[in-house]
Amino acid sequence: MTAVLQVDGLHKAFGGVRAVEDVAFAVSAGELLALIGPNGAGKSTCFNMLNGQLEPDSGVVELEGRDITGMSPRAIWRLGVGRTFQITATFASLSVRENVQMALYSHAGKLRSLLSRFGTALRTEADALLDQVGMLDQADRPCGVLAYGDLKRVELAMALANQPRLLLMDEPTAGMAPRERVALMELAARLARAQKIAVLFTEHDMDVVFSQADRIVVLDRGRVIAGGLPAEVRANPDVQAVYLGSGH
């Protein structure tokens, strides 16, 4: 099986600090890969090099065999990569449905119109996506008044609007109540597996990671120190040392 996302030899330094060093991993269709590590391990830097926010010093990022290293976030989205943010980013003054419609309109290349009325097209498609994430009943509310957990769901619906091959989720459950966290990640996992989407996510909550990830990659000080199935990673002494201190 070919990987949807293939990362090789990724390097990034800020001044003298080597934030990411020689990182490599791959994610296949329908697979959930968790990227974990203590604070400052390089997760966010790594993530931002995949989504186009940062340009790597060296290394290759390939999407379905195509080199996307250093492309803009816009271009990467056009190739079929959906994203959710650590701190939700939605359009607060637009309704939930309009938020999803923005993504759908953009995917369909329908945003350039100056005189047609926005919102009349792609309504059923938007509602279908909202139904998937359980937000249909709030479709007419402005995003600015939603609860945080609901915003995360809207983001997920927006991320799925371009029928992505790859979903990048930066701390998808940050800022949520513990029970909601597993529920949201379960939802994401269910949708991804059903639609054969490859998912890469970073996460601090180990309950979420070990219950939902198919595989886990562990970063520490910019390097991959372990990788594999949850059980293997859990048993890995290096990982235990990083998370629990070397005394264990």
Partner 1 sequence: MTFASFVIQLLNGLAAASSLFLVSAGLSLIFGVTRIVNFAHGSLYMLGLYGAYSLIEALGRTPLGFWSAVVLAALAVGLAGVVIEVVVLRRIYRSPELFQLLATFAIVLVIKDVALAAWGPEDLVGPRAPGLSFPIEILGRGIPAYDLMLIVVGPVVLALMWLLLARTRWGALVRAATQDREMVGALGVDQARLFTSVFFVGAALAGLGGALQIPREPATLDLDLSVIADAFVVTVVGGLGSLGGAFLAAVLIGVAKAFCIGFGFSKLTLVVEFVIMGVVLVLRPYGLLGKAPATPRAIGETPPPLGPPRRWPVAAWLVLFALVPLVGDRYVTVLLTDIVCFALFAVSLHFIMGPAGMVSFGHAAYFGLGAYAGALLFKKAGLPMELALVLAPFVAGLFAVVYGWFCVRLSGVYLAMLTLAFAQISWSIVFQWDELTAGSNGLVGVWPSAWLSGKPAYYWMALALCGIGIAILWRALFSPFGYVLRAGRDSPLRAEAIGIDLRAYQWAAFVLAGTMAGLAGSIFAFSKGSIAPSSVSIAQSTDGLVMVLLGGVETLTGPVVGAAIFTWLRDLLARETDFWRAALGLMILLIVVVFPQGLVGGLAALYARWRPA
Per-residue binder mask for partner 1 (CB under 8 A), 22-51, x = binder: -----------------------------x
CB of residue 247 to partner 1, shortest distance in Å? 36
Does the footprint of partner 1 cover residue 77 (CB under 8 A)? yes
Cβ pair 36, 92 in contact under 8 A: no
Q: Which of 224, 230, 238, 232 is nearest to 208 (CA)?
A: 230
What are the strands of the beta sheet with 32-36, ordered from one edge?
Answer: 81-84, 166-170, 198-202, 32-36, 215-220, 223-228
Task: Looking at residues 80 to 139 of the shown chain, list those that interact with partner 1 (rule: CB under 8 A).
Answer: 83, 85, 89-95, 98, 102-103, 105-107, 110-119
Strands 66-67, 58-63: pairing kind = antiparallel
Between 2 and 72, CB nearer to partner 1: 72
Among 30, 134, 142, 175, binds partner 1 (CB under 8 A): 142
Q: Which of 157, 152, 105 is nearest to 131 (CA)?
A: 157
Separation between Cα atoms, residue 1 and residue 195, nearest integer Å:
16
Does the footprint of partner 1 cover residue 144 (CB under 8 A)? yes
Does the footprint of partner 1 cover residue 236 (CB under 8 A)? no
Side-chain half-sphere CA neighbours of 13 within 13 A = 6
CB of residue 181 to partner 1, shortest distance in Å? 22
Residues near partner 1, by CB under 8 A: 51, 72-74, 77-78, 83, 85, 89-95, 98, 102-103, 105-107, 110-119, 142, 144, 158, 161-162
